Amino acid sequence: MTTTGKTRQGGALALTAGRLVAAAATALAVAGGLVLTSVMLVTCASVIGRAFFNSPILGDFELVEAGCAIAVFAFLPYCQLKGGHITVDIVSDALGSRKRRVLAMLNEAVFAAVAGLLAWRAMLGGIDLWRYGETSMMLQIPIWWMFLVVVPALALLCVVCLLRLYLVKTGEHL
């Protein structure tokens, strides 16, 4: 097989991997959305229970906090995948296409590093919570359970940044 053939094959492999990453980020976001919808339903049930039957759901605040936190982290990779984070593009729009690409790659690299750092720290934080067996007040939910979503979501965010870096570099699309 020729060299070009090999690179093309490598490129195709990278694109397939990229599509898998994109599918994972989308699935995670929708799953997070379903968690948020559950939070909404639980809260409504609790308010109705409190207002009409004098029996709110025990620990509903904790479910809301945990559910929303899970949803927020689950949303992060998808938002980056879609380029949804706020940037100011006046300077970059004024640059030539080559410089603009370099700038975009730098920004993706920085974001990947920051996301990686956050994932690493969250993992250590989660391990601490697991070791000390910290739980929520009312429902005794172990806090570290939440980190089973938080850490992979941050790691996926890092991968999505790298994927976008690759796409900018090669000029390819998923």
Partner 1 sequence: MSGVTLALVLFGALLALIALAMPIGVAMLLVGGFGYIMLSGVGPLLHHLSSAPYAQAATYSLSVIPLFILMGQFATHAGLSAGLFNAANAWLGHRRGGIAMSAIGACAGFGAICGSSMATAATMAHVSLPEMRRFKYSGALASGVLAAGGTLGILIPPSVILVIYALLTEQSIGKLFIAAVVPGMLAAVGYMLAVAVYVRLYPEAGPAGPRAPFASRLRSLLEMGPVIGIFALVIGGIYAGWFTPTEGAAIGAAGTGILAVLHGGLRWGGFVECLKGTAKLTAMIFLILIGADLYNSFLALSQLPMTAARVIGDSGLPPMAVLAIILLFYLVMGCLMDSLSMILLTVPIFHPVIVGLDFGMSAEEVSLWFGILVLIVVEVGLITPPLGMNVFVINSFAPDIPITQAFRGVVPFLAADAVRVVLLVAFPSLTLGVLAWMGSLP
Q: Segment contacting partner 1 (CB under 8 A): 3-11, 12-20, 68-76, 165-173? A: 68-76
Q: Fill in the DSSP letter of residue 15.
A: H
**Who contacts 158 (Cβ-Cβ below 8 Å, separation ≥6)?**
112, 115, 116, 119
Q: How far is the CB of 171 from partner 1 (least distance, A)?
A: 18
Q: Is 95 left (phi over 0), alpha (psi -120 to 50) or beta?
A: beta
Q: How far is the CB of 18 from partner 1 (least distance, A)?
A: 19
The DSSP string of 117-143 is HHHHHHHHHHHHHHHHT-B-TTT--BT
Nearer Cβ to partner 1, position 18 or 111? 111
Q: Which of 3, 4, 54, 87 contacts partner 1 by CB under 8 A?
A: 87
> Is residue 150 close enough to count as binding partner 1 by CB under 8 A?
yes
Q: Which of 15, 57, 114, 168 contacts partner 1 by CB under 8 A?
A: 114
- Return d(Cα 160, Cα 171) in angstroms, integer: 16
Q: Which of 14, 57, 69, 105 contacts partner 1 by CB under 8 A?
A: 69
> Is residue 78 close enough to count as binding partner 1 by CB under 8 A?
yes
Which residue carries 């809260």 as its tokens?
43
The answer to whether the Cα torsion of 37, 39, 43, 49 is positive or negative is: positive
Enter the tokens of residue 143. 């806090």
Q: How many residues lie near partner 1 (CB under 8 A)?
A: 57
> Is residue 85 close enough to count as binding partner 1 by CB under 8 A?
yes
> Is residue 102 close enough to count as binding partner 1 by CB under 8 A?
no
Q: Which of residues 7-36 bind partner 1 (CB under 8 A)?
A: 26, 29-30, 32-34, 36
